[in-house]
Amino acid sequence: MPIPLHQVLERIFRPSSNTVRQVVAVPRSVAEQIPLVDSVAVISVTAPEKLQASLAAFEHVLRLSFADVDFLSAEMTKRRQAKLKAAFTAQQAVTVLAFVEALPQNIRTIVVHCEGGYSRSCAIALALADIYGYEAERASLGEANPSVLRTLKDVAYMKLNAKKGRK
């Protein structure tokens, strides 16, 4: 279930005693209402056939466009097959990880949105929580797109192994 605006704002503005970033997945309609806050970065995911979201002038925004398709599913319907060419890619995963790793220390919250706020955005939020240990409301991330989640985790794992190999 997507998080309503008032809950997102509470998370953005609540004082935190720890230094762990938080990641929040929201629908596009909520992301477009979030006011400009210096401690927030946004990962904006739109469907290929949609226009970019109208966001506040955040300094740190990553815009991605890919279809909400689970290419790991054993059931490959015609609809899924049609969306495969616009599915999330390993290169997009590299871009997400590089964006997050380059964020300055003052960024306390990463808001991830997609159209509905329950599949692609939840997968990215859950992956960031798992990879970097960010705080996340895991109960609200239950419908995460398995392909996006797996791709992000696989790319992060490959990056980690490549770093170990260089040492």
Quote the strand ranges of 47-149, DSSP E.
61-65, 109-114
* pLDDT tens figures, 55-110: 999 999 999 999 998 877 667 667 766 677 888 999 999 999 999 999 999 999 99
Q: Which one-letter DSSP state was computed for residue 167?
A: -
For residue 51, what is the domain's CATH number? Answer: 3.90.190.10
Contact in structure between 119 and 144 (CB atoms under 8 Å): yes
Q: Residue 157 sits in which domain range?
A: 5-166
Domain count, the chain: 1
pTM score of the predicted model? 0.91
Residue 124: closest CA among 112, 134, 133, 136: 112
Residue 118: how many CB atoms within 10 A of its CB?
22
